[in-house]
Structure 1
Amino acid sequence: MLRPAFSKIFFSLCLLLTVFGSITGYASKPLRIVSVNGTLSEIISGLGLESQLVGVDITSTYPASLSKIPKVGHNRSISAEGIIALNPDVILYTDQSMLSPSVIKQLTSSGKKVVEFKHEYSKEGAVKLIREVGAYFNAKPQAEKMVKTLEADLAKIAKPATPKKLLFIYARGTGTLMVSGTGTSLDKLFILTGNKNAVQGFTEFKPLTAESLLAANPDVLVLFTSGLESVDGAEGLLKVPGIANTNAGRNKKIVSMDGQFLTGFGPRLGKAAIELVQKIR
């Protein structure tokens, strides 16, 4: 007669522990997450999961608190060993992360869960990415809150009556100057603001030449803040052959913005577009 009573008590205790665990988080251990994409890291933080990030890449600069998290490198310089050493439960990246296929193979071979998200450079792509990451972590309400803010920001973009020709220059000192062609995140952002890329006819990036500058004749030059600093500011850039002979050079219309903010195409896409519009006026 005691055994059924004991079983009933035991079952009640188990049920009580299950309920208690679901409330306190005792029953489920927090995931250890490594993100090798700045936009993914920003979204994860926005979902309220920043405390679960144990490693991020160099592009993970927002929010500023991410600076305290161990870095695993940047793009193709990321090693599988550095990530595995952090003992993550899941490693996240996007198809735009340029993570080496050999590194992905090493990570999966080690038994680590590696998840890829598609990231399209558009307002629709930004919304989709936020929702997919939110769904993956069972945080849809938090994701929708970010989407709502993003859509409200995008609605505020004031497109110009006359589009301007913008040219993005990737700079790492005067010896490394590249211009952004069509299909890049910069090109897509220019279009989103109602302006246009000054260069056409090629995709990705090409070396900057005086001839191509004169042919493009941009109204505004856009650089990453770090890039402009690497050429000694606007005055240094104006000394680059061809720059001073463009409309942008003659009018000293040179704009710089934080790289991740400008190209992230994530929760702050609308804010980045608004700031760019304001700066190129």
Structure 2
Amino acid sequence: MKRWLILLLAGCSLWASASAWALTLTLPDDRGRPVTLARTPQRIVSLLPSLTEMVCQLDQCQRLVGVDRYSTWPESIRQLPRVGGGLDPNIEAIVALRPDLVLAATSSRAAERLVALGIPVLALEPKTHADVQRVLGKVGQVLGVSDAQKIWRQIDAGVSAAAQSLPPSVHQVRVYFEVNRGPYGAGEGSFIGETLARLGARNILPASLGPFPKLNPEYIVRANPDVIMIGERNAEGLLQRPGWQGIRAVREGRVCIFPVAESDVLVRPGPRMADGARLMARCLAEKAPGAAKAEPSPAKALARTAGGKA
């Protein structure tokens, strides 16, 4: 009887596995194009860090056989082959990995060539909280993960907890968040802007400018934010930017310069968004007017951190 039961369970397991591989799934990607998968993908190349992180957070890291050069989390993917970036992918390296699915941004230059070579490409690019929830669901569907929305619920709860940790004194603080030294900023309509709003801050970049607008540097000076959030990569020479020493945030030392690892968390719309919310909340708690004392010598502190001269 026991042997019969073992054989029955083994047979059920084989049937379930075969069924998963026999599944044909067609779904639209963010380019509006239908993507058909003849079987559940087992060899995946990811060309966008946020998508890499989603696959791993859904406990499917073992299916990744290659990633873009910017994917750094979790630690387990650091040994995977690197196949360039979304804008300069190494097509030959991708093909050599024999993927049955490539995950990419809608702007990726790899999509058309890979599809022509018979490799399915699912282009997904989350830019808002709603996008992250939707893309998580779509990646979960492709991977056969039944409750991908559990991850979104954890993210949402984490952002709410970060907001609740802040005192009322930081509410309505005017913030400029720089994502790239173009300068490109995070507008109200971006996932970063939405997180700032949930934390009670005011974004100096209205939604009408787009999620991540390129700015005239004078715009930031005229807006005169109370707090500036910027990554270490972009902060070099910050004090030498025309007019920046007169910005209230710079003058009073209310600038948060995030190290590279923290900056990566902040700018990736994926499963670590709650961690990003906590980093922004910490910045507001420490730097917002009325919330904490700024450093006594803000110009010198900024010069040390941002590569400027006091």
1:32-71 to structure 2, matched below 5 A, reads 32-71=43-82
Task: Find 2:278's aligned residue among 269, 274, 280.
Answer: 274
Give CA-to-partner distance per residue, 1:172-195, whole Å, 9 cap, x none.
6xxx54444453443333223222
Alignment correspondent of 1:8 = none
Q: How much does 1:216 deviate? A: 1.0
- 2:302 is matched with none
Determine the structure 2 residue equivalent to 1:238: 239
1:133-144 to structure 2, matched below 5 A, reads: 133-141=139-147, 143-144=148-149
Instruction: Report the Cα distance in structure 1 between the residues aligned to 2:229 and 2:60, rounded to whole angstroms.
Output: 33
Shifted more, 183-192 versus 241-250: the winner is: 183-192
Instruction: Kindly indicate whether residue 252 of structure 2 is the aligned counterpart of residue 248 of structure 1.
Output: no
Look up the SS of the partner of 1:119 in the other structure. coil
CA distance in 1, matches of 2:179, 2:272: 21
Post-superposition offset of 1:137 = 0.9
Residue identity opposite 1:73 in structure 2: G
- The question of whether the paired residues in 2 share the 8 Å contact of 1:170 and 1:224 is answered with yes
Question: Cα distance 1:93–1:163, how it changes in 2: closer, same or farther (>3 A)?
Answer: same
Would you say the 8 A contact 2:175–2:203 is kept in 1? Answer: yes
Q: Which residue of 2 aligns with 1:154?
A: 159
Is 1:107 aligned to residue 114 of structure 2?
yes
In structure 1, list runs of 5 or more residues that go unmatched. 1-13
Change (3 A) 1:74 1:188: farther
Q: Secondary structure at the match of 1:167?
A: strand
Matched residue pairs, number?
251
Judged with a 3 Å threshold, the aligned counterparts in structure 2 of structure 1 residues 24 and 137 are, in CA distance, closer, same or farther, namely: closer
Contact 1:92 1:115 in 2 (8 A): yes
2:267 corresponds in structure 1 to 263
Aligned-pair CA distance for 1:87: 1.4
For the aligned residue pairs, the C-alpha RMSD in angstroms reads: 3.0
Identical residues among aligned pairs (%) = 25
Please give the TM-score of this superposition, normalised by the length of structure 2: 0.70
- TM-score, normalising length from structure 1? 0.77
Task: Evaluate the alpha carbon distance shift between residue 237 and residue 270 of structure 1 in structure 2; reply closer, same or farther with a 3 A threshold.
Answer: same
Conserved? CA contact 2:41–2:142, under 8 Å: no
In structure 2, the gaps of 5 or more residues are 1-6, 22-39, 286-310
Amino acid paired to 1:75: G
| Per-residue deviation, 1:128 | 2.3
Determine the structure 2 residue equivalent to 1:205.
213
What is the rounded CA distance, in whole Å, between the counterparts of 1:151 and 1:89 in structure 2? 32
On the 8 A contact 2:66/2:80 being kept in 1, the answer is: yes
Is 1:72 the counterpart of 2:83 in the alignment? yes
1:74 Cα deviation from its structure 2 partner:
2.0
- Residue 22 of structure 1 deviates from its aligned partner by 5.5
Cα deviation, residue 170, structure 1 = 4.0
Distance change >3 Å, CA 270–CA 119, structure 1 → 2: same
Which protein is bigger by CA-based radius of gyration?
1
The code of the aligned residue for 1:190 comes to: L
- Equivalent in 111, 123, 144 of residue 116 of structure 1: 123
| Higher-RCO chain (CA-CA 8 Å, sequence separation at least 6) | 1
Is residue 164 from structure 1 mapped to residue 173 from structure 2 by the alignment? yes
State the match for 1:4 in structure 2.
none
Equivalent pair of 2:41/2:143 in contact (CA under 8 Å):
no
